[in-house]
Structure 1
Amino acid sequence: MPHFNRRFKAFTLVELLVVIAIIGVLIALLLPAVQQAREAARRMQCSNNLKQLGLAIHNYHDTHGCFPISHYPTPTNRKPASWMVRVLAFMDQGAAAGQITYDDTDFAADSLDRNWQITQNLYMESVRCPSNPMDAMHTQAVSSETQNLGAPATAEYQIADYTGLSGAYNASSPTFWNGYRGRKDYNGIFVAVDDVNGDTCSFRHVADGTSNTLAIGEQSNYFRYLDSNGEIQQADHRSWLSDAGLFGGGGGGSKSEARSYWKGVSTIRAGINVVAPGVNNPFGVGLMYNRPRHNTPFVSAHPGGAMFTMTDGSVRFVSEHIVFNTLMDLANRQDGRVLGEY
């Protein structure tokens, strides 16, 4: 039998290093594409979430003849339900909506919360932007009254990433200066019924056209501001941040208390993704008495701008470089100005 001497040549160290380098270059080239694809998918999901909210407020309008009000007086000092609670039945949350009581209950969970088994357990992926780097939940102490009903001493409540538009800052009547709590504007889609304004908002009030009026926008990223050293800092200033998250509507009690602070809505007082010259100046952001102020800018985790639901139910990505006066006009349902492209 002939004998075959088989010799196998192995990789040299140099060849191995070259192969590793090539693989590293390929990964470096592919990684941005993968990240872009993931962000495109997250942005599409965010757009779908806003579309569902647009349908919800339309269905609410079909049922009640108006858009959900943001804040309103209550018979006692209990805090009222938010506009998002009002539309739960139109967001595939019929079971939760059917169990909620509005009778002598505090939706901010500051006092007696008769709905605690719902507010402390309900979580909706549809009101969270998938690109959001911030916490999805707000933790707070539970009142002794609610604990007597069987609730735990502390609880978590979901924070929504989508905020209603109550108008453009000081743009047209009615507006109201409310001292330390800032100016309140009623020229948007989500309005308060209080001692300044007694009327709800419906389609007939949208004089500028539903396709030209912003209804809901993103607050899905950190608010950025300059500290005393000129360094950029960031903080969570979503309008749903405190007082039972998305369930609390703010205000409560008398009509004047109903306008004392607003949750879940904001005005256009600054540009999209703005970097502010200080945490409170000049845009009225931050917390006052542990409650979010009313002019926190719209900020997004999507690069270059933010997603908005228009009043006609469509969803648009609005660039952070939009002319500011145009952005103000989009927030005001009744300014009467003609809009160009944006």
Structure 2
Amino acid sequence: MTKRSGFTLIELLVVIAIIAILIGLLLPAVQKVREAAARMTCQNNLKQLGLAAHNYEGAMGQFPAGATQNASQWAFSFQAQLLPHVEQDNLRKLVDFTQAITLGSGGSQTLNPVHATPAKSPVGLFLCPSDAGPVLYQNNSADWTPNNYMVNMGTGVTVQSLANANDGIVWYTSKLRITDVTDGTSNTLLMAEALRGNNIQTEPASAPIDPLRQYASFGGQGALLDEATCATATRWAGNRGRSWLWGREFNVCFTTTHRPNQRAADCARSGAGFYKAASAHTGGVNVLLCDGSVRFVRDAAWRAASTRSSGEVPGEF
């Protein structure tokens, strides 16, 4: 009689348990490899934007303004002006810079129909692969595609709007050259990443659903915002980085009022306010300096690095 060999039930369970343990050990390693690759892609995106900004400055004699102004409308972003320098000339041709981006008066959020196609056209270079935020936003029946890479609007301490000159790199009518960055291009931030909003507006609410993806939103005009005012908020907006095309502060800018990834919610009134740099990377954010280099910043000397001519020496990031 032939004796058949095989696994006992206990042996089978032991093998399954070992496999489960191995998978449990392997998955975090795979996730770390994926995040490392995503972080490198994010850094490369910023390097490409830095090269584009330098090419623009060389061709035009100045960095792009924070946003173009046309017929007193909020208009086209720093990022949109870089399109010809990031191999997006076909998309650039769809943008009619001679027509206002919005209809209505002041800060209207009604998209001019002539810009409907570029507004909803995604640009992979403007998106961090680690951010799982929305890839399409709707507002007043218009579609907008988002942006993760924000340009430096300074500290946000005394100037909180693109409408006025600030201590950073951009405002609406800025015409800064590299030579205006007297703190040194290797010591001054040009761009940094931020998490896209969660596309949710909550009101009334005493706290945001996610302080990294929503900010306190106040209507009307008023004095400079501060922590005490922001603590009274009951309306929270989730439209951070909603559009790479539209040059509003919440879409395309950051300030260093808050530290990177600080859990305190940002705060704004009619666009003006402060907006932090933030990321889905562990422990910090990727930043682009004015010399075109990219670094991963945790916290050190954060506010000093946003000013272009204040005489600080930020030291090592």
Using a 3 Å threshold, how does the CA distance of structure 1 residues 240 and 89 change in structure 2: closer, same or farther? farther
Equivalent position SS for 2:20: helix
Give the one of 297, 314, 328 matched to 2:303. Answer: 328
Identity %: 31
Q: 2:187 is matched with which residue?
A: 212
CA distance in 2, matches of 1:246, 1:112: 15
1:294 to 273, 284, 297: 273
Aligned to 1:42: 38
Gaps of 5+ in 2: 103-107, 199-204, 216-236
- In 1, the alpha carbon distance for the partners of 2:46 and 2:162 equals 28
1:5-24 equivalent positions in 2, closer than 5 A: 5-24=1-20
Question: In the TM superposition, what are the counterparts of 1:45-124 in structure 2 within 5 Å?
Answer: 45-74=41-70, 76-106=71-101, 110-120=110-120, 122-124=121-123
Deviations 1:223-253 (A, max 9, x none): 9xxx868x98445248993797111113xxx
Q: 1:233 to 1:84 in 2, by over 3 A?
A: closer
Tell me the CA shift for residue 111 of structure 1: 5.0
1:62-113 residue CA offsets vs partner (Å, 9 max, x unmatched)? 1111111013542x24331111111111111011212321223325762533
Q: How far apart are 1:117 and its partner, in Å?
A: 2.5
Q: Hey, what's the Cα distance between the residues in 2 that align with 1:109 and 1:232? A: 24
Give SS of 1:294's match. strand
What one-letter code is carried by the residue in structure 2 that aligns with 1:331? Answer: S
Match of 1:307 in 2: 286
Could you tell me how far apart the structure 1 residues matched to 2:123 and 2:206 are?
38
Task: Give, in whole Å, the separation in 2 of the partners of 1:302 and 1:110.
Answer: 34
Would the alpha carbon gap of residues 233 and 214 (structure 1) be closer, same or farther in structure 2, given more than 3 Å must change? same
TM-score (norm 2): 0.80
C-alpha contact (below 8 Å) 1:138/1:242 kept by paired residues: no
| CA positional deviation for 1:185 | 5.9
Once residues 241 and 297 of structure 2 are traced to their aligned partners in structure 1, the CA distance between those partners, rounded to angstroms, is 30
- State the partner residue of 1:150: none
The TM-score with structure 1 as length reference comes to 0.75
Counterpart of 1:274? 262
Could you tell me which residue of structure 1 aligns to residue 201 of structure 2?
none
Q: Structure 2 counterpart of 1:241, which letter?
A: N
Cα 1:327–1:244 shift into 2, 3 Å:
closer
Equivalence map 1:80-229=2 (5 Å) = 80-106=75-101, 110-120=110-120, 122-141=121-140, 154-170=141-157, 175-176=158-159, 186-193=166-173, 199-220=174-195
Matches of 2:128 and 2:112, distance apart in 1: 31
Aligned CA distance change for structure 1 residues 270 and 111 (closer, same or farther; 3 Å): closer
Cα deviation digits, residues 131-182 of structure 1 (max 9, x gap): 10210221122xxxxxxxxxxxx33211101100011233xxxx447xxx79
Contact 1:109–1:244 (8 Å) recurs in 2: no
- CA gap of 1:308–1:242, structure 2 versus 1, over 3 A, is closer
CA distance in 2, matches of 1:243, 1:234: 14
Distance across 2 between alignment mates of 1:114 and 1:155? 12
The alpha carbon displacement at 1:312 in A equals 0.8
Determine the C-alpha separation between the residues in 2 that align with 1:308 and 1:56: 15
Instruction: Kindly name which structure, 1 or 2, has the bigger radius of gyration based on alpha carbons.
Output: 1
Match of 2:232 in 1: none
Q: Are 2:295 and 1:316 equivalent residues in the alignment? A: yes
Give the Cα–Cα distance (whole angstroms) in 1 for the partners of residues 288 and 240 of structure 2.
24
Give the Cα separation in 2 of the matches to 1:243 and 1:47: 18
Unaligned runs of 5+ in 1: 142-153, 194-198, 251-260, 280-284
Q: Deviations over 1:293-342 (max 9, x none)?
A: 431111110000000011111110001xx23xx11111111111223223
Read off the aligned partner of 2:57 and give its amino acid letter.
Answer: H
Give the deviation of 1:286 after TM superposition: 4.3
Distance in 2 (CA, whole Å) between partners of 1:45 and 1:315 is 12
Matched, 1:236 2:213: yes
CA distance in structure 2 between the aligned counterparts of 1:240 and 1:232, rounded to whole angstroms? 9
- How many residue pairs were aligned? 285
SS of 1:268's partner is coil
